Amino acid sequence: MFNYLVRRLILLPVTMFFIILVNFMIINLAPGDPTTMTEVSQDGASKREDRSVAFSGDNRYLQFREYYGLTLPILFNTWPLLTPSDVKLILWQLNTRKKDELSSEEMSFKEYDKMRVLFGDQARFIMKDLLNIIEDTNEPMEIRKLALQFFIRGGTHQAHLGADLTAAQKEYNRKIGKDNDLLSRLSISKDDKPEKINEKILSLKKFAEENKTTYKFETTTKQKISIFFFETRFYRYMSRVLTLDFGTMRNDPNKTVISEVTRRFKYSLTLSIIPMFIIFFLCQCFGFLMAFKQNRAPDIVLNVIFLILFAIPVFVVAPFLIEKIALNGYFPFTNIKIPHTGFTSPDIIYNRQISYERFFDVATHIFLPIVAIMYGSLASESRLSRTAILEVMRQDYVRTAFAKGLSTFSVLVKHIGRNASITIVTSLAGSLGIILGGSLIVETLFEINGFGKFFYDAILNRDYNVIMFSTIAGSFLTLLGYLAADIAYTILDPRLTLD
């Protein structure tokens, strides 16, 4: 078993890497991005005309895209390989809004907007080519002005954010603050005279010469290879994940994803683990009953009931439980009202309770959510347990055990139950991955602030950090679940070996 565990643990990070890669690709290739949901500052609508094309938004918009790595390509960065002719062609297309010289119609706004945003992101890696165009007096002035705008876009950097910055980061922030201010003053406006334009171009050239090493305005072959692999969204994300830094919340950079998940973990954990154990116990009981009464009234009735329960979706059952049972309802033989919202009573009440009162308070609040979560799984697992038990009961060793005179209880527990449980363990093993996910619909309808609702809100807000963390955590727990299931096989059936 030891060798098997070592092999599985070695394969675990490899499997996780490819899971992260696939999900990262899907999320980043999906239409839209977080900025489609982002409000820009009020001056965005009246931003300066001389910066509007290259910057495609205000500084807050750019800072948001920089923070999420949306200004970089996904897997491989080939932008430094753009040729001078490619750069000139794109500038001509942006200036004329035409795809080529033979085209009589302007490109659509969507195509134009996509091109200018992409070229603005690429500007940082083609600064030398842009500077050559700016200095070339043979180029039309409109093209030179446009190239200058994109040069300023490429030279503009975003500061490090946060309260715990290092001395080097603070020094970097001071430098780029000074440089960004200088670049903003070198923009060419429509009122600038030729002498003023030439003066700004000379200042721009001086800036490029002084900072060509710091900002990599002129890249060597070695630097291009490094940029190809490391200046990408995926590398930036993986470098954070390897240090267990899963980022911050989209709407509040002061809150980390880990802290928000930890705060909600107890709710989803409770609503996942408790139903799992209840389902395992009850499905075995119902499975035995249906198997021993095969094709008789109890078997037929329970099969029909479970088929009906399995067919009813949770978004129908949960509102039914709230409206018909919880509202104005009481627990049987008591005067205790059935709660239908929250995981506990309000804090002002819950904080005054002692231990056993809190336990009872939580139990009453999660009663209906657990029923809504487990009814469907109980229906499917019970029918699966019935099939597994029938298969085991037909084995020769079971008949031999009865023939030897062993008690019915001993045969059920030691022979039939243990071997039939292997099928149920396999089925439940994968459910470990949904511990953090909880039940999205149930948590939303019952107003429980668990991870399922948290994940749902993240999808609506396009919070990539939360979505990716949910994927990573769910995949990791699923892999651990299957590993635990393999180990459980050897405990339930000593004949099985992992070697």
Same domain, 266 and 185: no
Note down pLDDT in tens along the chain; length 499 residues: 778 788 888 888 899 999 999 989 988 887 766 555 444 444 443 344 455 566 655 566 677 677 777 889 999 999 999 999 999 999 999 999 888 877 778 888 888 888 988 998 999 999 999 999 998 889 888 898 899 989 988 888 888 776 678 888 888 889 888 988 888 888 877 777 888 888 888 888 888 888 888 888 888 889 899 999 999 999 988 998 888 888 888 777 778 888 888 888 888 888 888 888 888 889 888 998 998 888 899 999 999 999 999 898 888 888 888 888 888 788 887 888 888 888 888 888 888 888 888 999 999 999 999 998 888 888 988 998 899 888 888 888 888 888 888 887 888 877 888 788 877 777 776 666 565 555 778 888 888 888 888 888 888 887 888 888 888 888 888 888 788 777 777 777 666 666 6
Question: Does the residue 2 lie in any domain?
Answer: no
pTM: 0.75
Same domain, 209 and 315: no
User: What is residue 73's predicted lDDT score, i.e. its pLDDT?
Assistant: 93
User: What is residue 48's predicted lDDT score, i.e. its pLDDT?
Assistant: 47
Q: Which residue has the tokens 């619909």?
A: 441
Give the chain as a 3 state SS string: CHHHHHHHHHHHHHHHHHHHHHHHHHHHHCCCCHHHHCCCCHHHCCCCHHHHHHHCCCHHHHHHHHHCCCCCCCCCCCHHHCCHHHHHHHHHHHHHCCCCCCCCCCCCHHHHHHHHHHHHHHHHHCHHHHHHHHHCCCCCHHHHHHHHHHHHHHHCCCCCCCCCCCHHHHHHHHHHHHHHHHHHHCCCCCCCCHHHHHHHHHHHHHHHHHHCCCCCCCCCHHHHHHHHHHCCHHHHHHHHHCCCCCCECCCCCCCEHHHHHHHHHHHHHHHHHHHHHHHHHHHHHHHHHHHHCCCCHHHHHHHHHHHHHHHCCHHHHHHHHHHHHHCCCECCCCCCECCCCCCCCCHHHHCCCCHHHHHHHHHHHHHHHHHHHHHHHHHHHHHHHHHHHHHHHCCHHHHHHHHCCCCHHHHHHHHHHHHHHHHHHHHHHHHHHHCCCCCHHHHHHCCCCCHHHHHHHHHHHCCHHHHHHHHHHHHHHHHHHHHHHHHHHHHHCCCCCCC
User: What is residue 28's predicted lDDT score, i.e. its pLDDT?
Assistant: 84
Please state, in angstroms and rounded to a whole number, the distance separating the CA atoms of residues 185 and 182: 5
Final residue belonging to a domain, choices 215, 241, 267? 241
Question: Does the residue 8 lie in any domain?
Answer: no
Same domain, 390 and 264: yes
Give 8-30 as a 3 state SS string: HHHHHHHHHHHHHHHHHHHHHHC
Same domain, 112 and 60: yes
Identity of residue 81: L
Question: Does the residue 6 lie in any domain?
Answer: no
Nearest to 202 by CA among 219, 188, 217: 188
The CATH number for 485's domain is 1.10.3720.10
Question: Structural domain of residue 416, as residue ranges?
Answer: 257-492
Same domain, 228 and 281: no
Q: How many domains does the chain have?
A: 2
Same domain, 223 and 279: no
Same domain, 277 and 376: yes
Same domain, 386 and 351: yes
Same domain, 359 and 401: yes
Question: Does the residue 417 lie in any domain?
Answer: yes
**Do 353 and 252 contact (CB within 8 A), yes or no?**
no
Same domain, 69 and 193: yes
**Do 326 and 339 contact (CB within 8 A), yes or no?**
yes
Same domain, 231 and 334: no
Both structure tokens of 288 = 């035995």
Final residue belonging to a domain, choices 241, 270, 305? 241
**Do 392 and 419 contact (CB within 8 A), yes or no?**
yes
